Amino acid sequence: MSKEGLPQIEKVDATGLRVAVVTATWNADICDVLHERAVSTGRAAGAQVAEFRVVGALELPVVVQEAARRYDAVVALGCVIKGGTPHFDYVCDSVTAGLTRIALDESTPVGNGVLTTLTHEQAVERSGAEGSVEDKGAESMIAALSTALTLRQLRDE
Q: Is 138 marked as binding a ligand?
A: no
d(CA 8, CA 80): 27
Alpha carbons 30 and 115: distance in angstroms, whole number: 9
Q: Is 145 annotated as a binding residue?
A: no
DSSP reduced 3-state for 131: coil
From the list 3, 87, 101, 120, the catalytic residue is 87
Annotated binding-site residue? 58: yes
Output the CA angle 37-78-125, nearest 5 degrees.
Answer: 60
Cα separation of 123 and 32, whole Å? 12
46 is in an annotated binding site: no
- 76 annotated to bind ligand: no
120 part of the active site: no
Report whether 59 belongs to an annotated binding site: yes
Q: Give the three-class secondary structure for 4.
A: coil
- Is 150 assigned a ligand-binding role in the annotation? no
Positions annotated as catalytic residues are 87
Binding residues are 26, 57-59, 79-81, 84-85, 112, 126
